Every structure is written in structure tokens, then in C-alpha cells.
Structure 1
Amino acid sequence: MFFRLISSGLLLRVSNVGSTNMAAGSRKCSTTRLRYLTQKEAIALDEELFNEYKFSVDQLMELAGLSVATAVSRTFPVSTHPSALIICGPGNNGGDGLVAARHMSLFGYNVSIHYPKRTPKPLFENLLAQCVAFGVDIVENLPPPQQLCDHYQVLVDALFGFSFKPPVREELKPAMTAMIEATIPVCSVDIPSGWHVEKGPGIAKALRPALLISLSAPKMCAQSEFILDAKHYLGGRFLPPGILHKYFLRLPPYPCEDQVVLLSC
């Protein structure tokens, strides 16, 4: 659910692009010099948020999911992409997806969830129950990837996070294949599913998202040479000053009361 800095001290510049028009108005892409987190650093940062700063999992999940829903709506507004499918995995990324589904339904989207391996914990069960109460459709069997465009205009990838280790389990392979082969845009939560946190996609036939929403701070795989033409947002406006200082994080300021900031156009 979170981000990465560069242990070697390498600083990378997010592409310097002019203003871009979005549904919520015009924003400028950030030119802040970012530090990107390794997998080890991302895990350590999470543990500090829980142990040192006393955040709860559901508290951070709610803020992360709202950020995801906001970034999706900025990039693929309900006026042009009214129907969305969110593919949720068994970990915290899947919980972020469940929260995003609820918020997107409130934003006016017709939202469906595919949740092939459910997590038998009260938090996840409650989030799923909330989605159902808000009219989110639960899809048990995915249509073939080429037919997804007949039902949806945008996919949200909340399958795997930065703790993923290959191979993909059999029960999750159809969901992974659907996102790789889909002809509609995919929006990835924090890490494109199946990617190595530091080395990126690794294989030719990998998920290529149209939108990446980094949470807390970007991970190494969010560098421009990996995400190519994808739009890139940062969300998760909850990092304490002590975390920023300890990890030498240089993050761009969030505009006004926004929960997300555009990093690259």
C-alpha cells in the first residue's frame, strides 16, 4: 500500500511537462525530484506507520482507496468511462480496491468487483459487505479478455502489491491474464500486478497500465523508463513529518485539499 526511496542515493526527476487538463480542472505535472522506495524500504515504512505512528490498517486503507478512486476519476471520468471493473487480490492492495469501489460508486460509476480469492478477515469481509450495500456488483466469472470492453470502460488493478512474489497462483491467473490482454485502460494501485518492485515488468508480456497510482511514495518500478506513457499520480496524503525526514523523501506538495497529486502526464 505504500512507497519507495533509492538506497543508493540516486535522485530521479519526474518528467517536466506542462499543464494538463483534467475533469477537476487544470493541474501542472510535478517536477519535484523524487526518491523511490525499494521493496525492503516500503515494507519498513509500512511497519513504522503501524508500530511507531499508531495508524491502523483500515485507517490507511480508507485513505489509500479514496486516493485511488480520485485518481481514476481524474483520468477516466464517469462522463466518458461510466462502467468500471475492479479486480481485487487477497492482500492489502485488494482492500484498497474494495474501498476504491465504494467511493467510485459514490462518484457515479457503475462499479463491479472481481474478487477471486477472498480474505477471511473481518476487515475485508466488512469492506465487501459495504460494497454490496452501495450497489457494487460482484462478478464471480470474468468474461474473456477481449469481451471485457463490451461491459466496462476501465479496469482497476488491485490484485498484487509490493509484497508479491512469483509465481501467480492458479486461482488468480485468469484475473492476471484479463488485465494483460484487456483492450480497455488499466489503472494499477501502487504497483502494476506481477511487476518486480525494483526491476519493473521483467517480461515482454506484462501488464502495461494506462494509470499508476503510487501510494505514500513511489516505488522503484514507478520510474519513467518502466511506466512509459502511463499517467502517474501520487496518493496517500498521510505520511508524518518524521517518516519524510527519516527516509529522505522529497514529495511534491498536494494542491489545496486534494488527496492526489499528478506526477507525470
Structure 2
Amino acid sequence: MQAKALTIAQMKEAEARSNELGVSYAQLMENAGSACTAKIKELFPKLSTSSVVILCGKGNNGGDGLVIARKLENSAADITCIFCCGEPGTELSQKVYQQAAAISSIQFLDAKKEPMLCHFCLNQADLIIDCIFGTGFHGEVQGSAQPMIGTANKADAVRIAVDIPSGMNGDDGSCSISVFRADHTLALGALKPAHLLEDTQSVCGKIHTLDIGMPSEALEDSSSVKLLKWENLPALLPKRDPNANKGDFGKLLILAGRSGMGGAAMMATLSALRCGCGLTTLAAASSVINACFPHLMEAVTLSLAETKDGAVSSESLTLLSEHLSSSTAAVIGCGLGHDEHTEKLVRSLVKETQTPLVIDADGINCLAGDINIVQTAKAPIILTPHPKEFSRICGKSVAEIEADREQAASQFAQQYSVHLVLKGHATVIALPDGTVYQNTTGNAGMAKGGSGDVLAGMIGSFLAQGIASEKAACLAVCLHGACGDRCAQRLSEYGILARDLIQEIPLLLRELEQNR
């Protein structure tokens, strides 16, 4: 999993490290221009008959734009570079300006001196490329850049931002009132944290990460967040022994479901079965078992005593403990409900069992009053909260969590020695050793009831098969999102149901097996 997200400071470190390793700042700018040009040609194949406007700042981001102008010179019908903040002001940008200025077919305009002509060119453009500000921008767009961005956003043109849309901060995604609204964003070298925030997607458009020739050592030394991508997954999926039997692929116990929440129990069970677990047992309130049994032909069921309110009774603790002792992993919490009975069950099982646990939904809520219990656990624990559930156990507001999801998740995982899967856009997986992953698959169509139950079952299934907690969580989260993406292509984001994700699991697993 080599792809990573870099903060502004980390990117500067990576550039400096690249320079030390022999790839100069000038070469990085040249590489960035070449990579952007190639991607622009791919995204906009009608260049030969198109008018291109490149909005340039006075720093090195503007220098990237000038390199792009030079390299597009023989491909576009006409190219105009608009200096939005005055002429280039850094040594590198001045050098590439001299090179571009030597090409007579490229027109250069100053937004402050020639505003009307600049607005005219923008309104006539077929393609507008944004290279005004870099990732470190903060505050409000001022001066001549502001009206240029405004006109660009209204123009009937394809808009492409280089590295980050101008007016957006690369770390926290905060935006100026005047921010360039891109159809595509070309992330240079690595994604930035802002690229992964849900609120920035409407500004960034489709994001493409470009290789600009930075040595892998420079990226490794500078990064703290690793990105999970579909291409990472074949290496995480073990090859199944052709001589194995069902007992070799694990025994998963799922404690889930109360009256009225049988769907959660059923989806967790079905997704676990689809992920290859040898034996899967659903333990639930008797009324839930009676409702689910006809639909779970491949699963074993364990009917538990229930309270008058339809929840699992704490009287089932001994029976559950016995079954847990013979299981290789367990999932606790999907649709379980939260009362004094389930709270007693969950807390007792966490303290007593030596079986690896995935704790989701109401299982997490049952721990919220005394989260320190997880520190006494005898077995590995994976917690899978959404932000509101996480708020209940970490003591931070949802707003505080969302402001820095990676930091909040990592801090908690290290403090309590658990693996934490913080669900949401760009799901975060934080490990006890401080390692943090961010998922890149999935879409807004998955924000529906049952999606988390499917994920819990998937993680539990891989964990039961003997896959280590880190890999089980990463594999399940990324595969889960990929299932959502495939469903969106077939059904639309509006039409996706949680059950649809389960149907995609074996199809995508087959692709992973073929690409291993």
C-alpha cells in the first residue's frame, strides 16, 4: 500500500528530500508539467481545435502552468496564459516564463492591466487550467485573481485544477468565497488531505494522482497516511489451499439482532458467508432467528433467550461464552440494541473472551459508559464506529472528529490498543502502532441503513479465516467500497441497497483472485 496522502508540510519535506536524492526542484516542475500535459490530453482529446486558457499565479504553481503551456503549444489551437497576481516572482517560475515567452504562439495577459481582454478570453475558452495558488493557500482570494476565478467558474468550459483548486487549503479543505470549481483536479506526487474530504468533492471534481518522479524514499520518509486502493487488494487476499476443508477457513460467531432489527443480523451473516468463512453462526434473540432462518440456509443459528422487549437476555452469557471459545472470531453489535441486558453481555464478553472481536454499532454503544474495558481485553479488538458512535467513546464532538478524522482515530487507537475503523467518506483505519490508512473506494450511495452491517460481517469473516487484524480491516473496507462503486455503475447511487453490496462481493473476489 504505497500510495499516501501528504500534508502541506509533508509535501515540502518530500520535495526537499527528492532534491537531496538528485531530483531537483526544477526537474520536479518539469516533470509535473509533463505529467499534467499527458493527463490533460487524455481528459480533453479535442485540443487541436480548442482554445486553452491557463490561469497563472506568481509562484511555483504558476510555473507549473507555464511548463504546461509550453508543452501544449503544438497540441492546442491557441493558448493564453493570464497572470492573475502579476508576473512570475520565484526563480523557478521566472526561468520557465522565459522559456514559454520564446514561443510566439502563446499569448500572455496581465489580469490587472488587461482585465476586459482576460474576461473575454475566459468566456471564449474551451478549456481552463488553474495554476494560481498552491496547496498552502489560506484566507480569501484577493486582487485580480478574484474576478478571474469568478469568470472562469461561469464560463462554458472544462475546468482543470493543478494540484488543488485555487482558493482551497490543501490540509483542511477550507475554501475562499472565490474558489476555482474544477471538473478535474490533478494531484501532483500524492493526494493531499483536502482531496479526501467529503465537503471538497464538489470543488475538486474527479481527482487524478500524477507521478512527478519523486523518489519512493522521499514519499515514504514524509508520509503518515497510507491510501487503500483497489490495486492493493490482491496482495492482501490469501490463496486458498485446494486440499483444505471448511474447518480450515474459520468459525465466525455473529451476535446481532433484536426484535425489529433482524435485517442487520441477516446482512452481517450473508456478507460473512460471501467472504469465504468456513462456518458462520448467527446468535440472536429467538424471534430474530425464527424470522431469519429461512433466508440463511448456509449459516448455523443459535437461538438465545430474549427479554420482553425483544432484546437478547443476559441469561445467554454462559451459552455465548461456550460458543465463543470454539470460534476463531466474532462480530458483536449489529442491530443488537442497547439496554442493561446487552450492556452486561457485551462488557462481559469483551473482558472474558480470548477470541478476536469486531465490535460494531450497538456493541460500541454498550461500551460507551466504560470504554476502558477494551484495555483489559485478552484478544484483539476491531471497533467500527460511524462518527456519532465514535463521539460517544472518545469524548469529542462529531465536529471535532470530522475536523481531523485521521488524528482523532489514530490517537484513540494508540491510547486503547485497538484497531479502529472510522466509517464515512474516505474511511479511516487506525492501528495501535500509529499507522493510519485512508480508503479511496466507495460513494455516497452507500450512506444507507445496513451498509455498516455488511462491512462488519466482511471484516469478521476475514478475521475468522486467520487474516491479521490490519489486513482483514483493510481488505474488507476497500472491497466494501469497491462493491459500492460497482453497484453505483449498475444501479445509480440513489438506487443502491445494502443487500446489493453483498451480491457484488463474490464477483469482485473473483477479479482479485485472477489478478493475484
Name stretches of at least 5 consecutive residues in structure 2 with no aligned partner: 232-439, 442-484, 486-516
What SS class does the counterpart of residue 155 from structure 1 fall into?
strand
Deviation digits for residues 202-233 of structure 1, max 9, x if unmatched? 46663220010000001011126222482222
Q: 1:146·1:181 contact (CA, 8 Å) conserved in 2?
A: no
Moved more, 213-222 or 175-184: 175-184
Residue 227 in structure 1 maps to residue 195 in structure 2: no
Structure 1 residue aligned with 2:14:
45
Residue 93 in structure 1 maps to residue 61 in structure 2: yes
Residue 56 in structure 1 maps to residue 30 in structure 2: no
Structure 1 residue aligned with 2:136:
163
**1 CA distance for matches of 2:175 and 2:145?**
19
Residue 209 in structure 1 maps to residue 182 in structure 2: yes
Deviation digits for residues 117-170 of structure 1, max 9, x if unmatched? 112455433322322322211123244897556521010000000122323332
**1 CA distance for matches of 2:43 and 2:169?**
25
TM-aligned CA deviation for residue 98 of structure 1: 0.3
**1 CA distance for matches of 2:60 and 2:122?**
27
**2 CA distance for matches of 1:150 and 1:80?**
19
Residue 110 in structure 1 maps to residue 78 in structure 2: yes
**Which among 90, 103, 106 is matched to residue 136 of structure 1?**
106
What SS class does the counterpart of residue 222 from structure 1 fall into?
helix
Structure 2 residue aligned with 1:189:
162
Q: 1:156·1:186 contact (CA, 8 Å) conserved in 2?
A: yes
Residue 236 in structure 1 maps to residue 208 in structure 2: no
Q: Which amino acid is 2:208 matched to?
A: Y
Q: 1:210·1:231 contact (CA, 8 Å) conserved in 2?
A: yes
TM-aligned CA deviation for residue 84 of structure 1: 0.4
Structure 2 residue aligned with 1:65:
33
Q: Which amino acid is 2:50 matched to?
A: P
Quickly say closer, same or farther: Cα 1:205–1:131, change in 2 above 3 A: closer
Q: Which runs of 4+ in 1 moved over 6 A?
A: none
Q: 2:125·2:156 contact (CA, 8 Å) conserved in 1?
A: no
Structure 2 residue aligned with 1:17:
none
Cα RMSD (Å) of the superposition? Answer: 3.1
Quickly say closer, same or farther: Cα 1:200–1:79, change in 2 above 3 A: same
TM-aligned CA deviation for residue 35 of structure 1: 3.1
**2 CA distance for matches of 1:198 and 1:48?**
20
Percent of pairs identical after alignment? 24
Q: Which amino acid is 1:241 matched to?
A: S
What SS class does the counterpart of residue 55 from structure 1 fall into?
coil
TM-aligned CA deviation for residue 174 of structure 1: 2.7
What SS class does the counterpart of residue 170 from structure 1 fall into?
coil
Name stretches of at least 5 consecutive residues in structure 1 with no aligned partner: 1-31, 254-262
**2 CA distance for matches of 1:158 and 1:47?**
21
Q: Which amino acid is 1:107 matched to?
A: S
**1 CA distance for matches of 2:178 and 2:212?**
33
Q: 1:208·1:227 contact (CA, 8 Å) conserved in 2?
A: no
Q: 1:179·1:207 contact (CA, 8 Å) conserved in 2?
A: yes
Give the number of equivalent residue pairs: 224
Q: For the pair shown, which has the larger CA radius of gyration, 1 or 2?
A: 2
The normalised TM-score by structure 2 is 0.39
Structure 2 residue aligned with 1:14:
none
**1 CA distance for matches of 2:81 and 2:51?**
11
Quickly say closer, same or farther: Cα 1:128–1:201, change in 2 above 3 A: same
Quickly say closer, same or farther: Cα 1:81–1:195, change in 2 above 3 A: farther
Q: Which amino acid is 2:68 matched to?
A: A
Q: 2:63·2:88 contact (CA, 8 Å) conserved in 1?
A: no
What SS class does the counterpart of residue 157 from structure 1 fall into?
strand
